[in-house]
Chains A and B, each alone.
Chain A
Amino acid sequence: MATETEALQHSGRFRLKAIKGRAFEAILIVATLVGLVALVMLFGFMFFDAVSPGSASAEWYLLFFGTLVGPVSAFTLYGRRHPAVRSANARASAAVFGGLALSLSTFVVLKAMSPYGPLVYLITVGSLPLAVAAYGRYTGSSYFVGPAMVLATLLAIVWTLGSEVLLVPLLDATFELGNQLLGGVPVLGSVPVPVDRGLLVFAIAVGLPTLAVANSVLRRQLSLDRLLVVVAVLLLSAAGTSGLDQLLRPYLEPLPLWAAYGGVVGPPVIGLLGLVVTRRRGLRSGLVAAAAAVGGALAVAVGALTISVNPRLLVVLALGMGVPTAYVVGETVTTDPDGRVGVAGPFIIVGGILLGAYIEQSLSVAGPDTWVTPTLLVESWDGLFPTEAGAYPSTVGSIMIVGLMALMAFPVGVGAAIYLEEYAPDSGWRGRLASVIELNIANLAGVPSVVYGLLGLALFQNFLDYGPGLVFSASATLGFLILPIVIVSAQEALKAVPDSLREASYGMGASRWQTVRSVVLPEAVPGILTGTILALGRAIGETAPLIVIAVATATSSAPDGLFSTGAALPLRLFAASANFDPAYRTGVVAALAIVLLVLMLTMNAIAIIIRNKYQE
């Protein structure tokens, strides 16, 4: 037997087979490496040109490793052995760096738009649902609050954004379409629209909600307090339609600028903090925490004013980064003795950077001759001096476009996924409709992005008669583009929730919506977030549809509102790549490309971290 195998092994045929197999494996490895090498080349070339790491002195590298890389990797290694430390580190890093990113983005957007406009939006959109919730609390019957809050929010959005930019263009477009359609009919085509346009908008925007509320409230029983509710809705809609913006603005303008910034950032952050603490520790602690946050922000503002520093940025940072950091650190230190050390993680990174920068300054160590500098993000474009060239307007535009897009696409996408996964039946016309919708979503995901640009162009410029390249049209166009991605990933997340949870919830008498809201959605949140972040990463780099809807490629002023001309980072990169001056071509532009790549990679990394953390 043994000799037989040996003979077989020595036969040429067997050896040939072995060589063939090995060659095949080598070819496969090469094929896999092609992709990886392409990735390395892409990053490598741009990184070397943008950062030129070779130009830094040996001292600088020593400093870099000594203050940043060394401590951070030591801490990471320590965290690997102590899971509690690692998870505390992750929480604290999320609070510090997430808070930093969000507050800086909010700050630049508020700075570009002036904070009074957003403050008006916040007050009008926020106060109506809150009023509904308060009314529900007051009457002690909470069962209508949920749907009423949803409707109130929708209504408030239509009022604040709506009458000027949504209803009027929509009515205009409908009239025009009607005229075109009726144009062929001899008599009807020549009949002018009999009513004043503004009046019609007013009637629709006030009448519809009032009638709807009256129908639902008064149908059963006519009483004074119910009548009052209807009157309140009538008055509110009238005020909203005639421009709450103009009504409220004069009262808000006297506020100092820093207070307006705080007024926009504060309520959501402090409200969230109060809610979270209340849920964990009771109402009293929640109120104390909220009061402490308000006090802290005021203290920062007053402190900055006394040393005559402009407190705008500090207030935003205190609220957006300080509050979540304080909460996470405090919570971890008091409740998690094992992981306590972990909260130091982000501070080691920040401290290392600051310390390194300080030593670099004071000893004048020669760092790398890099193009990736703060100038790139805080200055406008300079066509003559490459060292002065930055992409501030485009950065602000990108943040506004992608932020607004997320606000629009996320609820719609998740809603559609919930309908398809939780509500749509398998059979009947509704089931057939659902399968048509799913097929349609798969097809939409394959439509080239430039075609979405044509949709945006036709919808916003031709149909609604908006100006070219507005922030709003750009957001909506990109929203259409990423909607299929959001829906499909949310569907995956919902599918992964085990049916036993749903059945348990139904078994306890919960309705379908209650089950979705309190059982299925909380389980699916990490998966939904993963998909959404990936979709945002895609949207940040999307260029072609923005060119088609005529967003300015090279602009020197940041957009100052949702209905002003937009700008975006990838468009700046596109416009600047045609420059033949090597300082731009392989300097500033390479740095811009690196910024885009790092943004995309960070988002992918966050998504992967969330997925891995919750997959277990």
Chain B
Amino acid sequence: MSQEDETELSSLKRSEFVLRKERLYRQLLAGCALLTIAITAGIILALSGQALVFFESVSPIDFLTGQDWSPLSNEPSFGILPLVSGTLIVVVGSAVVALPVGLGAAIYLSEYANPRVRAIVKPVLEILAGIPTVVYGYFALVYLTPILRDGFSLPVLPEFIANALPLVSEFTLVVPGLFPEVNTFNALSASIVVGVMIIPMVSSISEDALSAVPDSLREAAYGLGSTKFDVSTKVVVPAATSGIVSSYVLALSRAIGETMIVVMAAGESPKIPTVPNIFDNFTASIETMTVAMVNIAQAESLGESVTYESMFAIGLTLFALTLTMNYIAELISRRYREEY
């Protein structure tokens, strides 16, 4: 009798222990999940805390409307407009490269390519998004800029084959320089490379959106006598507009925040864009918001100066900008999602 009681008691205790154990694990795991909120809170606190200190010495209006950015000079001036316009130049340039190319690749992969081609090409394109940005920056600075300026020549065959065959020994691939006027540091090569980097963001997300369009729509269009061209451009793409647009916004937000490529290839001369000759802005050296931050971070022994705090003010602007764009992308893909 008493023994029975005891076992019952111990099993009762045990099950209570199991309950507490479950609660402990749930709390540990929930703590992990809450850490992500803490990270966001940390970002906002860190940025706004230091930015507030900065805005005590520079008024927000001067910061947002000033046309001169020279934080490291003796009489520092903190106007963010040249940086914003520099970022804008890079964003426009990369958009010209990435948006049409990415959408074209997405339509091809979703509508035209056979499954085997798609299974190979899609992951290969996604490699572009995984390449370290510092390698992209190096490529833009050391390879692309000289190519744009001077063109390039490439011996097609290894030496020993070329030597063995006298006829082709002179055969080299020669491409002339297309933009002889570009600077060593220029917005053009930086924005082309940023564009290449964000191609997979556009193509992958758009391809997902295009593939999600139900086949019944395509079949209905074919049934009405449409060609593949008509089906792709007049049925599938319009039906997937929300996905395509949100992929555009996400990719551009990535281009805004891109740092290393621009730091290495686009230089550090903040300027307000010249208006009539828009193309001159691309051949010249510029400075974006991210470059300004890296420059300040690299300048040593600043301590707690206004210049140091201005880095956080730019960071806050950048954070707000990308957050808004991501939110818009989310809103578009949610609001205008076609329900089939």
Segment 129-161 of A: residues with Cβ below 8 Å from B? 143-144, 146-147, 150
A459 interface hit (Cβ, 8 Å): yes
Further 19 A-B residue pairs, CB within 8 A, beyond A25-B229, A451-B318, A455-B39: A24-B233, A30-B104, A32-B125, A35-B196, A53-B158, A55-B159, A416-B32, A423-B29, A444-B39, A450-B293, A458-B47, A462-B46, A540-B132, A542-B132, A543-B132, A543-B259, A570-B260, A597-B131, A601-B127
A614 interface hit (Cβ, 8 Å): no
A328 interface hit (Cβ, 8 Å): no
Residues of B within 8 A of A528 (CB): none
Residues of B within 8 A of A204 (CB): none
B214 interface hit (Cβ, 8 Å): no
Total contacting residues, chain A, CB less than 8 A: 100
Q: Interface readout for B202-243 with A: 1 if CB under 8 Å, 0 if not? A: 010000000000000000000000011100110000000000
- The answer on a CB contact under 8 Å between A454 and B315 is yes
- 21 A-B residue pairs with Cβ-Cβ distance under 8 Å, sorted by A, are A21-B227, A28-B112, A31-B101, A34-B101, A35-B196, A35-B203, A56-B158, A415-B28, A418-B29, A437-B36, A443-B327, A446-B322, A447-B43, A450-B294, A451-B315, A459-B42, A541-B132, A543-B260, A553-B298, A574-B134, A604-B130
- The answer on a CB contact under 8 Å between A541 and B135 is yes
Cα–Cα, bound, A56→B158 (Å): 8
Main secondary structure of the interface of A (DSSP, over half): helix
- The answer on a CB contact under 8 Å between B297 and A437 is no
Residues of A within 8 A of B34 (CB): 437
Segment 137-156 of B: residues with Cβ below 8 Å from A? 137-139, 141-143, 155
Residues of B within 8 A of A447 (CB): 43, 257, 319, 322-323
Residues of A within 8 A of B130 (CB): 534, 537-538, 600, 604
Most buried by A among B105, B125, B136: B105
Main secondary structure of the interface of B (DSSP, over half): helix
Question: Would A32 and B121 be within 8 Å (CB), given that A416-B29, A448-B256, A596-B135 are in contact?
Answer: yes
The smallest C-beta distance from A297 to any residue of chain B, in angstroms, reads: 36
The smallest C-beta distance from B159 to any residue of chain A, in angstroms, reads: 5
Residues of A within 8 A of B138 (CB): 573, 577, 589, 593
The smallest C-beta distance from A546 to any residue of chain B, in angstroms, reads: 10
A246 interface hit (Cβ, 8 Å): no
Cα–Cα, bound, A462→B50 (Å): 10
Segment 51-71 of A: residues with Cβ below 8 Å from B? 53-58
- The answer on a CB contact under 8 Å between B137 and A574 is yes
Residues of A within 8 A of B227 (CB): 17-18, 21
B49 interface hit (Cβ, 8 Å): yes
Q: Interface readout for A532-576 with B: 1 if CB under 8 Å, 0 if not? A: 001001101111100110100100000000000000001001100
A518 interface hit (Cβ, 8 Å): no
Cα–Cα, bound, A454→B318 (Å): 12
Most buried by B among A18, A414, A419: A419
Residues of A within 8 A of B257 (CB): 447-451
User: Which of A39-47, A79-87, A97-105 touches B?
Assistant: A39-47
Cα–Cα, bound, A31→B130 (Å): 20
- The answer on a CB contact under 8 Å between A608 and B132 is no
- The answer on a CB contact under 8 Å between B290 and A448 is yes
Cα–Cα, bound, A38→B199 (Å): 10
The smallest C-beta distance from A585 to any residue of chain B, in angstroms, reads: 6
Most buried by A among B49, B50, B155, B196: B196
A341 interface hit (Cβ, 8 Å): no
A483 interface hit (Cβ, 8 Å): yes
B72 interface hit (Cβ, 8 Å): no
Segment 426-450 of A: residues with Cβ below 8 Å from B? 434, 436-437, 440-444, 446-450
B interface residues with partner A (beta carbon < 8 Å) = 13-14, 17-18, 21-22, 24-26, 28-37, 39-40, 42-43, 45-47, 49-50, 100-105, 107-109, 112-113, 121, 123-125, 127-128, 130-139, 141-143, 155, 157-161, 196, 199-200, 203, 227-229, 232-233, 250, 253-254, 256-260, 263-264, 290, 293-294, 297-298, 311-312, 315, 318-319, 322-323, 325-327, 330
Most buried by B among A46, A547, A586: A547
A36 interface hit (Cβ, 8 Å): yes
- The answer on a CB contact under 8 Å between A28 and B108 is yes
The smallest C-beta distance from B245 to any residue of chain A, in angstroms, reads: 16
Cα–Cα, bound, A440→B137 (Å): 30
Cα–Cα, bound, A423→B297 (Å): 42
The smallest C-beta distance from B275 to any residue of chain A, in angstroms, reads: 28
The smallest C-beta distance from B207 to any residue of chain A, in angstroms, reads: 11
A310 interface hit (Cβ, 8 Å): no
Residues of B within 8 A of A143 (CB): 14, 17-18, 21
Question: Would A54 and B293 be within 8 Å (CB), given that A17-B229, A25-B112, A29-B108 are in contact?
Answer: no
Cα–Cα, bound, A585→B36 (Å): 41
Residues of B within 8 A of A413 (CB): 32
The smallest C-beta distance from A219 to any residue of chain B, in angstroms, reads: 11
Residues of B within 8 A of A420 (CB): 33
Segment 445-489 of A: residues with Cβ below 8 Å from B? 446-455, 457-459, 462, 480, 483-484, 487
Residues of A within 8 A of B200 (CB): 35
Residues of A within 8 A of B107 (CB): 28
Residues of A within 8 A of B21 (CB): 143-144, 146-147, 513
- The answer on a CB contact under 8 Å between A448 and B297 is no
Which residue on B lies nearest to A21, using beta carbons?
Answer: B229
- The answer on a CB contact under 8 Å between B40 and A577 is no
Give me the 8 closest cross-chain CB pairs, A-B, nearest first: A541-B132, A448-B257, A31-B104, A415-B32, A458-B46, A28-B108, A544-B259, A419-B29
The smallest C-beta distance from B235 to any residue of chain A, in angstroms, reads: 14
- The answer on a CB contact under 8 Å between A453 and B297 is yes
Cα–Cα, bound, A401→B180 (Å): 42
The smallest C-beta distance from A531 to any residue of chain B, in angstroms, reads: 13
The smallest C-beta distance from B93 to any residue of chain A, in angstroms, reads: 15
Question: Would A444 and B40 be within 8 Å (CB), given that A450-B293, A544-B260, A574-B134 are in contact?
Answer: yes
Most buried by B among A41, A53, A447, A553: A447
Question: Would A434 and B290 be within 8 Å (CB), given that A540-B132, A573-B134, A574-B137 are in contact?
Answer: no
The smallest C-beta distance from B126 to any residue of chain A, in angstroms, reads: 8
Cα–Cα, bound, A440→B38 (Å): 10
Residues of A within 8 A of B290 (CB): 448, 450, 544
Question: Would A484 and B36 be within 8 Å (CB), given that A42-B131, A423-B26, A446-B250 are in contact?
Answer: yes
Cα–Cα, bound, A87→B113 (Å): 31
Contact of A459 among B40, B46, B112, B113 (CB under 8 A): B46
Cα–Cα, bound, A454→B296 (Å): 12
Which residue on A lies nearest to B192, using beta carbons?
Answer: A38
A511 interface hit (Cβ, 8 Å): yes
A284 interface hit (Cβ, 8 Å): no
Which residue on B lies nearest to A24, using beta carbons?
Answer: B229
Cα–Cα, bound, A18→B159 (Å): 46
Question: Would A550 and B297 be within 8 Å (CB), given that A28-B104, A42-B131, A455-B43 are in contact?
Answer: yes
Most buried by A among B250, B256, B290, B297: B297
- The answer on a CB contact under 8 Å between B32 and A419 is yes
A20 interface hit (Cβ, 8 Å): yes
